[in-house]
Amino acid sequence: MKDVRIGILCFQGAFKEHRYSFEKATQLVDKDIELKVEEVRKPSHLNGLDGLVIPGGESTTMSIFLKIGLKIRLGLAIGVLMTIERVEEGIERSHGCRDHVRAEDFMESLRDWMSKKKAMWGTCAGLILLSNNVLDWKNNSQSLIGGLHVTTVRNSYGRQKDSFEAKLTLDEELGGEFPGIFIRAPSIKSIDSEDVRVLATLDRHPVSVCQNQLLATSFHPELTDDYRFHAFFINMCLNTPSIG
């Protein structure tokens, strides 16, 4: 039996739904595995993981959190979506105060971890953060993890009120159709390398791709009862260097 440890970045997004989907997806994996799904809230939580999921959320806020490694003491309002200005203002006020904020460059830790050829999956906002290029920067404030040779466009499928569900066409390995749920979803404007493989399309436009150990989806598989993408990612993790 092989042990597989998958982390889920828990700043924003449906991380509980991802955990549930991974547990269900083990039934679709051919190999006998022992799966452990863990919450990742600081760089040290990356140690020993075979894969990492960056769930949906607000990409600008997530990138700011990752860049500065925001760590808020117990008692402050946790879970409130702060604007960039409020985040930066809070950091400036709390500079040097260990009780409030300690700067820690989470983004660099993620890049270093990814350089070890670990599996990483970005859904929705996670796709944006993994992209090498994003056309519509927000006040030039976003910092990307990068690595995925695609160009994306934020909120390309509309705002929150424009959310929708549509049947997606999958490639031969995944097979058939998939119920794609799009919530303020980014689009993949261009694929910039032959190393990028298209896994799913909507009206012949790519909405899911993979490149070596990287997986990305514009939509939210964790909000469906179809666990094929989660099983696909588990299989990717089985091929990471730590498992062999």
Measure the CA–CA gap between 45 and 39, rounded to whole angstroms: 8
Residue entry with tokens 């996670």: 126
204 marked ligand binding residue: no
184 marked ligand binding residue: yes
234 marked ligand binding residue: no
Q: What separation in angstroms does the CA of 54 have from each of 5, 9, 103, 156, 241?
A: 15, 5, 21, 19, 20
84 marked ligand binding residue: no
Q: Is 220 a catalytic residue?
A: yes
59 marked ligand binding residue: yes
Which of 238, 175, 166 lies closest to 207 in space, CA to CA?
Answer: 166
Indicate the SS3 state at residue 206.
strand
Among 18, 124, 149, 237, which one carries the catalytic annotation?
124
Q: Is 222 a catalytic residue?
A: yes
Among 18, 149, 220, 230, which one carries the catalytic annotation?
220
183 marked ligand binding residue: yes
Q: Count how many Cα atoms sit within 13 Å of the Cα of residue 195 in the half-sphere of its side chain.
A: 10
Q: Is 124 a catalytic residue?
A: yes
Report CA 73 to chain centroid distance, whole Å. Answer: 25
Q: What separation in angstroms does the CA of 189 have from each of 76, 103, 163, 166, 199?
A: 39, 34, 19, 19, 15
Among 149, 222, 230, 237, which one carries the catalytic annotation?
222
Measure the CA–CA gap between 86 and 92, rounded to whole angstroms: 10
Could you please report the per-residue DSSP string of 145-165? ---EEEEEETTTT--GGG-EE
CB atoms within 10 A of CB 240: 18
Residues of the binding site for L-glutamine: 57-59, 154, 183-184
Residues of the binding site: 57-59, 154, 183-184
Residues belonging to the active site? 124, 220, 222
